[in-house]
């Protein structure tokens, strides 16, 4: 977590640094920033992301809002959180998901990542995955396998619920 707060450069200059993302979250929602810190600072034994519920818990502070947002959680070999960020913000009913951008984000983390999880919100409050959600999951899973990564899970998150996207 120290890296998330103190890191000021990133290999991908088009994306905000982890420090900038954390400061933005801290300014917008201090309680959400604190929850994210607790999850990311947890020891590997308890801070591992191994279930859809874990994914929902990590990303809920990042994605909730009145626009659809896609977050990615980068994971190490033991499925501990390396980094988490919103990579796409859409409108009230959809967001654009570019598999190349998602994989680039995962592959350019400062620490090696071997897996990742996706999550996005449905501002409507209905966590039921759409046909497009399933298609994106399938495409990202194939693309990830091509470059030696594992898509651990994809979940749709609402304020009080979540659903796993089956591809």
Report domain extents, the chain: 48-164
Ramachandran region, residue 124 (left: φ > 0; alpha: ψ -120 to 50; beta: rest): alpha
**Domain 48-164, CATH:** 3.40.140.10
- Helix H or strand E segment including 139: helix 131-146
- What pTM, to 2 d.p., does this model score? 0.72
C-alpha 32/C-alpha 18 separation (Å) is 15
Q: Where are the alpha helices (DSSP H) in 49-107?
A: 52-63, 99-107
| Structure confidence by residue, pLDDT tens digits, 120-134 | 999 999 999 999 999
| Structure confidence by residue, pLDDT tens digits, 80-117 | 999 999 999 989 888 888 899 999 999 999 899 999 99
């Amino acid at each position: 977590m120290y890296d998330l707060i103190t890191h000021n450069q990133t290999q991908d200059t088009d994306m905000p640094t982890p420090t900038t993302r954390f400061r933005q979250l801290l300014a917008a929602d201090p309680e959400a920033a604190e929850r994210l810190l607790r999850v990311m600072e947890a020891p590997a034994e308890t801070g591992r992301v191994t279930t859809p519920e874990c994914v929902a818990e990590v990303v809920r502070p990042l994605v909730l809002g009145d626009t659809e947002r896609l977050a990615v959680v980068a994971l190490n070999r033991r499925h501990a959180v390396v980094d988490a960020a919103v990579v796409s913000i859409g409108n009230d009913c959809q967001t654009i998901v570019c598999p190349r951008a998602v994989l680039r984000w995962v592959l350019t983390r400062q620490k090696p990542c071997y897996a990742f999880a996706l999550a996005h919100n449905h501002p409507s409050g209905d966590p039921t995955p759409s046909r497009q959600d399933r298609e994106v999951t399938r495409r990202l899973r194939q693309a990830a396998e091509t470059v030696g990564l594992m898509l651990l899970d994809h979940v749709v998150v609402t304020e009080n619920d979540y659903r796993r996207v089956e591809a």
